[in-house]
């Protein structure tokens, strides 16, 4: 089992969600986060001046999937999140030992 953690642009959330739903993936956790990548933030023109924005609002999306689904989910997220401009996001893949469903006690370990 893997946890796919994608940091995406907030304005791409609906497109990524739709792409995932269309591909058959429904479970997810969404968190509003702030982050920065290689550009260490961005410069914005505002009221005639320049403002340096260090941490930029992003959406973090967590999706737990079996290992054989990882490539498919990554491709689906990329399709929904891509604009071609800087800040399109990053995807991390993290190993997970177990998932327990509280209602039924079901334990999934792989």
Tokens 């999306």: give the residue: 61
- The residue (of 86 and 107) whose beta carbon lies closer to Mg ion is 86
User: What is the number of the residue whose Cβ is closest to ligand ATP?
Assistant: 35
62 touches ligand ATP (CB under 6 A): no
CA-based nearest residue to 76, from 91, 66, 95, 86: 91
Each residue 28-47 as x (binds Mg ion by CB under 5 A) or -, in order, gives ---------xxx--------
Q: From the list ligand ATP, Mg ion, none, pick the one residue 59 interacts with, judged by a Cβ distance below 5 to 8 Å according to partner type.
A: none
86 touches ligand ATP (CB under 6 A): yes
How far is C-alpha 40 from the geometric centre of its chain's CA atoms? 19
Each residue 6-45 as x (binds ligand ATP by CB under 6 A) or -, in order, gives -x---------------------------xxxxx------
CA distance 4 to 6: 6
3 touches ligand ATP (CB under 6 A): no
Long-range Cβ pairs for the range 101-110 (8 Å, 24+): 108/1, 109/1, 110/1, 110/66, 110/67
CA distance 103 to 28: 18
Binding residues (CB under 5 A) for Mg ion: these are: 37-39, 86-87
């Amino acid at each position: 089992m893997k946890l796919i953690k994608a940091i995406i642009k907030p304005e791409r959330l609906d497109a990524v969600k739709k792409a995932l739903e269309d591909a058959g993936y429904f479970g997810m956790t969404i968190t509003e986060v702030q982050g920065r990548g290689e550009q260490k933030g961005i410069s914005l023109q505002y009221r005639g001046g320049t403002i340096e924005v260090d941490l930029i609002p992003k959406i973090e999306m967590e999706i737990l999937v079996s290992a054989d689904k990882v490539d498919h989910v990554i491709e689906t997220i990329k399709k929904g999140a891509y604009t071609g401009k800087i800040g399109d996001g990053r995807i991390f893949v993290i190993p997970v030992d177990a998932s327990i469903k509280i209602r039924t006690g079901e334990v999934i370990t792989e």
